Amino acid sequence: MNDGFETCCPFCAETIPAAAKICPRCRQWISLRSFRNPVVGLVITLFALFVVGGCVAFFFTHAFSRISNPPPYYADHVGSLQILQSKMFFKETTNGPRIYITGILTNRSQIPWRDIEFECRFLETNGNLIDADTSRSYSTVQANDDSAFRLTVTPIQDLQEYENLKLSISNARNVKSFF
């Protein structure tokens, strides 16, 4: 190494030209600035696989989601299902007390909905919230039609505390959805 144009091979310590990409003696790749260097090639290949794999995974996840739960979504049609009437009944069963809620729903949209998710709020006489639950009706409400429903809730308070019910629809699924 008597001038700046020579260097040592880090693998075999042979004096080699500073610009050498491959050591002339041991054939090791010196430069990473070449696509022909197997290390560089491997890194580029792995990166490309990672990007392509990510795109494929994203595509399939998205496609599966569209197939299993296709639009339109209830979130974009909030208010198209309305509760016309609802009533609570209390009953002692062999598994303990139960609250049954029966009512009638109407569908004011052109989209048939099913798996209707209800949010049930139970209030005591002075209006305080004493219990709440989410319950689902698996029946289908056709477009511009009515449908009766029944929900079952397991109470956590004494039954005589349940004075009032506030029922709202939190979600529903398009009948074209799979699951």
By the 8 A CB rule, do 120 and 101 touch? yes
Least gap, CB of 30 to Zn ion (angstroms): 8
Region at 46 (left for phi over 0; alpha for psi -120 to 50; beta for the rest): alpha
- The residue assigned the tokens 């430069």 is 31
Stretch that binds Zn ion, among 11-19, 35-43, 51-59, 165-173 (CB under 5 A): 11-19
DSSP-derived letter for residue 72 is P
By the 8 A CB rule, do 71 and 174 touch? yes
For Zn ion, which residue of 8, 12, 148, 156 counts as binding (CB under 5 A)?
A: 12
Stretch that binds Zn ion, among 25-33, 75-83, 136-144, 159-167 (CB under 5 A): 25-33
- The residue assigned the tokens 């197939």 is 67
What does the DSSP assignment read for 133-148? EEEEE---B-TT-EEE
Rank residues 11 and 58 by Cβ distance to Zn ion and give the closer one.
11
Least gap, CB of 17 to Zn ion (angstroms): 12
Stretch that binds Zn ion, among 1-9, 87-95, 120-128, 156-164 (CB under 5 A): 1-9
Q: Which residues bind Zn ion (CB under 5 A)?
A: 9, 11-12, 14, 23, 25-26
